[in-house]
Amino acid sequence: MSNSRKTIWIAFATFMLIQLGSSYLTYKNQNNMSFLMEMKSYLPYMLYFSIVGLVLFLLSFMVYQLDGLKAKKQIAKLEQDKNELKAKLFDMQESQTPEIVPTPLLKPPSETLPEEGISDNESVDSD
């Protein structure tokens, strides 16, 4: 996770904790009229605080989108590198394989075949 992303998430978490604390404090003192009247002077600050929360949310959304774009670009680059390495490997394999030259089939030497009338078991006398 990048430093800017960590910073935004920490700021957003701090904002949420402060908002949760102020909501709890208001809930606990909802029956105390003097507390609520004193709190009236802080209403403009609550508006500014809400705007800060909205800005933090928008920043976190933008950082999320930018990280997604970076990841897509990196994946595309890695895919291209993978394809280039495959092509190099194929070229290396092609250069290492010896070229096979087809040889013509050799005809067996002509043999004298026995005559049709003579069987294989009979011997031929040539006297």
| 84 pLDDT higher than 70 | yes
* In a domain? residue 101: no
User: 71: pLDDT confidence band, cut at 50, 70 and 90?
Assistant: very high
DSSP 8-state assignment for residue 40: G
What's residue 86's pLDDT? 93
* In a domain? residue 117: no
What's residue 123's pLDDT? 54
What's the mean pLDDT in 79-92? 92
Task: Give the total residue count for the chain.
Answer: 127
**Total domains present in the chain:** 1
Tell me if residue 29 falls in helix, strand or coil: coil
* In a domain? residue 27: yes
* In a domain? residue 112: no
Among 74, 56, 52, which residue's Cα sits nearest to residue 5?
A: 56
Q: Which parts of 1-127 fold into alpha helices (H)?
A: 3-28, 33-39, 43-96
Q: Please tell me the pTM assigned to this model.
A: 0.52
What's residue 37's pLDDT? 86
Amino acid sitting at position 121: N
Say which residues have a Cβ less than 8 Å from residue 26's Cβ, sequence separation at least 6: 39
Domain that holds residue 74: 3-95
What's residue 121's pLDDT? 55
Determine the Cα–Cα distance for residues 106 and 10; give it in Å rounded to an integer: 83
What's residue 43's pLDDT? 82
What's residue 29's pLDDT? 87
Determine the Cα–Cα distance for residues 54 and 60; give it in Å rounded to an integer: 10
* In a domain? residue 14: yes
Instruction: Quick: pLDDT tens for 36-66.
Output: 888 888 888 888 988 988 888 888 888 889 8
Instruction: Quick: pLDDT tens for 101-123.
Output: 666 666 666 666 555 555 555 55
